[in-house]
């Protein structure tokens, strides 16, 4: 559809927004004692309360009409059936297939793609049991004690987040480590802790060409070769997860140690693929399959539910309502469960790398706002750090609170109750504000916020949360008419970094560097001076 902002429904939404802005959310609550019932959804395992948004029934009807105008149903069908939705890279985006049951069958361009997906899951299962039962041993014959995931972005954040979230489900005394950065700080520290004879390194890189990951992998290989000489550590201590088998073989990874990925899985959508291997090692394959099953349940919910009952659809449309009609600049993710401490970082990549774009699928520039800044933190920490701005600052933003309602085994139940009380208090205060005769004690209120509550944080419900946000992102991309599955914006920085790396080596910035601005040139000189190369 051309001219989103010219569409009659967009104009109606603009008019409607002006009308809604005259009533505060607190007044909407005062006018409807059943507001929670009217504006919340419940699925087995997951509830979504969106009553604290500036919306009426009419708002939702108009937003559903917007989804219809943008032919969302057709786009969802295209996504799930493997059509070429990633138009710049001419690829489908089939992360939903990663959690399709073995027997469901999914024909893409004449081939059923489910058998290789399930063969990869079986390969993971086999490897997990070899590590757990100690039949897999290091080069000197000792069992593995430490698993180190070497990857960045989508090859890091998913397993990092999920292992932290599901610690109570960990089934093994194995220790897990994540190395993503190239600056050497974390790696240097880790190498002093590791026993090379009992450490296993997973090079997780879809492209097998990400500089940070490969530099770290090469440094580690040299380290372990020195420590385990005369043994060859590669077959017992290195695995790769990649779509580029040839490059992994060139690195020296044994063929049977390469776990497949496919070009149709985006990095930030890849946790349910072999990229989840470290997670499977931590929680066991049965729990990993539970996570897939939770994600699949949410996929089916998204695919089949009518708009009025469709959680990812409503979550996505409320984001559009805030961003495009209420000029929200930021959307904040606030888990009230420290287990979810990496969930905001995970969503930052998922949302901003997907929808942080301004060129439409038809190559024209958008004339409306797209993805807001996404950030977040464990809510209780945020309360004592940056909520001041939320309550009394001047910025426009919206919030997702994420709760886990049941405290398994009721360990430290009163702590859990304090966390839930804090979340509900903050949600209420953001919506209602606080009036005081003293101006500096007044809280503005009227801030839109959602509450997403899992019954209990389990592999299954974490899978649901992951798929919920993936589909939210997709809904928004369809409305904004952008391709959420590429990330061309990050390429230039990688290219530039290579030429600056070379320039840092030299005594002076030479002619090829003449394009550098004076700030870059000046700092290159300072670096050379500080590193004894003046």
Binding site for ligand F6P (CB under 6 A): 152-155, 205-207, 210, 213, 267-268, 353, 487, 490
Three-state DSSP at 3 gives: coil
For 322-345, b/e burial (b = at least 16 CB within 10 A) is bbbbbebebbbbbbbbebbbbbbb
Are 526 and 534 in contact by the 8 Å Cβ rule? The answer is no
Catalytic: 456?
no
Q: What is the dihedral of CA 344, 345, 347, 352, to 10 degrees?
A: 130
Minimal distance, residue 118 CB to ligand F6P, in Å: 22
When CB distances to ligand F6P are compared, the closest residue is 267
Catalytic: 494?
yes
Minimal distance, residue 203 CB to ligand F6P, in Å: 9
Q: Which is nearer to ligand F6P, 143 or 252 (CB)?
A: 252
Minimal distance, residue 344 CB to ligand F6P, in Å: 17
C-alpha neighbours within 13 Å on the C-beta side of residue 95: 28
Minimal distance, residue 371 CB to ligand F6P, in Å: 15
Q: Which is nearer to ligand F6P, 189 or 494 (CB)?
A: 494
CA 355 to chain centroid, in Å, comes to 12
Query: Quick one: tokens of 214?
Result: 């490969």
Catalytic residue among 290, 353, 377, 470: 353
Q: Which is nearer to ligand F6P, 63 or 160 (CB)?
A: 160
Instruction: Using only the alpha carbons of the chain, give its radius of gyration.
Output: 25
Question: What span, in angstroms and rounded, lies between the C-alpha atoms of 374 and 401?
Answer: 13
Q: Which is nearer to ligand F6P, 37 or 495 (CB)?
A: 495
Minimal distance, residue 374 CB to ligand F6P, in Å: 15
Minimal distance, residue 212 CB to ligand F6P, in Å: 8
Minimal distance, residue 93 CB to ligand F6P, in Å: 13
Name the nearest CA neighbour of 446 among 401, 383, 390. 390
Name the nearest CA neighbour of 245 among 235, 234, 260, 263. 260
Write the secondary structure of 87-143 as one string of H (helix), E (strand) and C (coil).
CCCCECCCHHHHHCCCCCCCEECCEECHHHHHHHHHHHHHHHHHHHCCCCECCCCCE
Q: Which is nearer to ligand F6P, 56 or 210 (CB)?
A: 210
φ/ψ of residue 345, rounded to 5 = -65, -40
Q: Which is nearer to ligand F6P, 205 or 287 (CB)?
A: 205
Q: Which is nearer to ligand F6P, 268 or 289 (CB)?
A: 268
Q: Which is nearer to ligand F6P, 229 or 490 (CB)?
A: 490
Catalytic residue among 37, 90, 384, 414: 384
Catalytic residue among 418, 494, 506, 529: 494
Q: How are strands ordered across the β-sheet holding 397-404?
A: 40-43, 46-52, 449-454, 397-404, 330-335, 373-376
Catalytic: 353?
yes
Q: Which is nearer to ligand F6P, 213 or 449 (CB)?
A: 213
117: left (phi over 0), alpha (psi -120 to 50) or beta: alpha
Q: How many Cβ atoms sit within 10 Å of the Cβ of residue 514?
A: 8
Number of residues assigned to the chain: 534
Minimal distance, residue 156 CB to ligand F6P, in Å: 8
Question: What span, in angstroms and rounded, lies between the C-alpha atoms of 157 and 345?
Answer: 7
Minimal distance, residue 102 CB to ligand F6P, in Å: 26
CA 326 to chain centroid, in Å, comes to 25
Are 430 and 445 in contact by the 8 Å Cβ rule? The answer is yes
Question: What span, in angstroms and rounded, lies between the C-alpha atoms of 92 and 74?
Answer: 15
Minimal distance, residue 191 CB to ligand F6P, in Å: 21
φ/ψ of residue 202, rounded to 5 = -110, 115
Place of tokens 């391709």: 483
Q: Which is nearer to ligand F6P, 152 or 295 (CB)?
A: 152
φ/ψ of residue 337, rounded to 5 = -160, 115
Which helix (H) or strand (E) is 176 found in, with range?
Answer: strand 175-179
Q: Kindly report each contact of residues 79-88 with a partner whose C-beta sits within 8 Å and lies 24 or more positions away, as own/partner.
A: 79/474, 80/299, 80/303, 81/106, 81/108, 82/106, 82/107, 82/108, 82/109, 82/113, 82/264, 85/483, 85/485, 86/264, 86/266, 86/483, 86/485, 86/486, 87/361, 87/483, 88/483, 88/486, 88/488
Residues that are catalytic: 353, 384, 494
């Amino acid at each position: 559809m051309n001219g989103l902002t010219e569409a009659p429904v967009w104009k109606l939404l603009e008019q409607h927004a002006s009308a809604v802005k005259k009533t505060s959310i607190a007044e909407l609550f005062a006018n409807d004692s059943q507001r929670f019932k009217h504006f919340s959804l419940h699925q087995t395992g997951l509830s979504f309360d969106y009553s604290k948004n500036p919306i009426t029934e009419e708002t939702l009807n108009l937003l559903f009409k917007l989804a219809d105008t943008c032919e969302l149903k057709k786009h969802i069908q295209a996504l799930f059936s493997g059509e070429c939705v990633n138009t710049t890279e001419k690829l489908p985006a089939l992360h939903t297939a990663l959690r399709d049951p073995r027997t469901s069958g999914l024909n893409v361009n004449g081939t059923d793609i489910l058998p290789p997906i399930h063969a990869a899951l079986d390969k993971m299962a086999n490897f997990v049991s070899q590590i757990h039962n100690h039949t897999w041993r290091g080069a000197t014959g000792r069992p593995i004690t430490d698993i180190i995931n070497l990857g960045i972005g989508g090859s890091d954040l998913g397993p990092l987040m999920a292992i932290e979230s599901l610690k109570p489900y960990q089934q093994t005394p194995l220790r897990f480590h994540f190395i993503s950065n190239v600056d050497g700080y974390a790696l240097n520290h880790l190498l002093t802790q590791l026993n090379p004879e009992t450490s296993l390194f997973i090079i997780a890189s879809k492209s097998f060409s990400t500089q940070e990951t490969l530099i770290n992998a090469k440094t580690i290989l040299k380290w372990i070769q020195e420590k385990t000489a005369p043994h060859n550590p590669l077959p017992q201590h290195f695995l790769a997860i990649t779509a580029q088998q040839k490059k992994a073989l060139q690195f020296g990874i044994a063929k049977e140690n390469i776990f497949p990925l496919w070009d149709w899985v985006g990095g930030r959508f890849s946790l349910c693929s072999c990229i989840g291997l470290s997670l499977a090692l931590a929680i066991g394959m049965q729990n990993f399959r539970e996570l897939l099953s939770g994600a699949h349940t949410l996929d089916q919910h998204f695919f089949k539910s009518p708009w009025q009952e469709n959680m990812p659809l409503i979550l996505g449309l409320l984001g559009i309502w805030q961003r495009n009609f209420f000029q929200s600049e930021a959307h904040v993710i606030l888990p009230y469960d420290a287990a979810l401490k990496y969930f905001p970082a995970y969503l930052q990549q998922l949302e901003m790398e997907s929808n942080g774009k301004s060129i439409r699928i038809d190559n024209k520039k958008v004339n409306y706002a797209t993805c807001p800044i996404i950030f977040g933190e464990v809510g209780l920490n945020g309360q004592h750090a940056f909520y001041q701005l939320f309550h009394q600052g001047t910025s426009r933003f919206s919030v997702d609170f994420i709760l886990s309602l049941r405290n398994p085994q009721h360990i430290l139940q009163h702590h859990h109750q304090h966390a839930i009380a804090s979340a509900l208090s903050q949600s209420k205060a953001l919506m209602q504000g606080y009036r005081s005769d003293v101006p500096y004690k007044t809280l503005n209120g009227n801030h839109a916020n959602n509450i997403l509550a899992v019954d209990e944080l389990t592999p299954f419900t974490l899978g649901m949360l992951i798929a919920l946000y993936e589909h939210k992102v997709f809904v928004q991309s369809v409305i904004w008419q952008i391709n959420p599955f590429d990330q061309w914006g990050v390429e230039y920085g990688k290219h530039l970094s290579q030429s600056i790396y070379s320039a840092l080596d030299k005594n002076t910035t030479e002619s090829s560097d003449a394009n550098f601005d004076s700030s870059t040139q000046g700092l290159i000189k300072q670096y050379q001076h500080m590193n004894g190369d003046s």
